[in-house]
Amino acid sequence: MSETPFIDVAAEVFDPRPCQLGEGPLWHPQRQTLYWVDLLNCRLMAKTQDGVEQAWDLGEMPSAIGWIDTEQLLVACESGLNLFNVESAEKTLLCALEPELPGNRSNDGRADPWGGFWIGTMGKNGEEGVGNLYRWYRGELRKLDSGLTVLNGLCFDRERRLAYYADSAASIVYSVSLDAQTGWPDSSRGVHLDLTADSLIPDGAVTDVAGNMWTSLWDGERTQCYSPEGVELGALKAPVIRTTCPAFGGRDFTDLYVTTAAVGLEDGPEAPIANGVTLVYRNAVKGQPEPAVIL
């Protein structure tokens, strides 16, 4: 494994509630609130800038989140894409997702700059090659790619020219070029990062204002930064093993939040921080707000 220069910003515990599989963090710019999911426990989690905590039992596994307006979120779950009202806790199915494949579930997802929402699927037991990639846009759900195992790392470049996504099982990050007007892919995927030589497992990812990609590494104890050209720039060290997904937030989008996972791990008697907590790196780097999903 190559030597990683660590960035001198320490992780803090943003939320101590442990998640079996924390994923999908989203900073809501209007509510000044971080939302994320505890996927295996079927919970949607939230915590405001001022420290107010909430949690909702969704009755099925959620995996990714977008924001629509002040009250409504788009939450990807096993059943499909759902509208969720954070004031009333009402959940309404917007679009079914692979009802013909009951062995699959949603995984990573993210809103794109055009107001669409990209969502990946995978086998519930991690079966090889059964995952697909979709985009929901203006009422249409269209399959974009297939033959994936654990789709993760959905994010978009600063110039709105590329979408990135990873197959964690293959240790590969792909890129695909996008139509400037509609955001639909206009090419086949190509390899953006090949992490197999270092045995790294890319999980969730996000891009900053400079266009650099920050990807959390499953079992890697860090969130790693790559330039748009794929050059490794550094990493934020985590005090836990399984980092899962980053998101920029805070009033100036200079805080980087990172979800983690406790599944399959036991906290040692002298562990300073429990696995599965949600971390934050204050004033780490300048990010950008997530675009709203347009219905």
Would you write out the chain's pLDDT as a tens digit for each of its 295 residues? Answer: 456 789 999 999 999 999 999 999 999 999 999 999 999 999 999 999 999 999 999 999 999 999 999 999 999 999 999 999 999 999 999 999 999 999 999 999 999 999 999 999 999 999 999 999 999 999 999 999 999 999 999 999 999 999 999 999 999 999 999 999 999 999 999 999 999 999 999 999 999 999 999 999 999 999 999 999 999 999 999 999 999 999 999 999 999 999 999 999 876 655 568 899 999 999 989 999 999 999 9
The catalytic site residues sit at: 203
Measured CA to CA, the distance from residue 193 to residue 190 in angstroms comes to: 9
105 labelled ligand-binding:
yes
Is 152 part of any known ligand binding site?
yes
- Taking domain 12-281, whether its CATH number is 2.60.120.960 is answered by no
Which residue carries 């990172």 as its tokens?
258
DSSP reduced 3-state for 239: coil
Q: Say how far apart CA 88 and CA 217 lie, in whole Å.
A: 35
Q: What is the pTM of this model?
A: 0.96
- Edge-to-edge order in the sheet of strand 62-67: 62-67, 72-77, 80-85, 91-96
Only one residue has tokens 């779950």, namely: 77
The span from the CA of 280 to the CA of 223, in Å, is: 11
Long-range CB contact pairs, 187-190, < 8 A, 24+: 189/145
Is 41 annotated to bind a ligand? Reply is: no
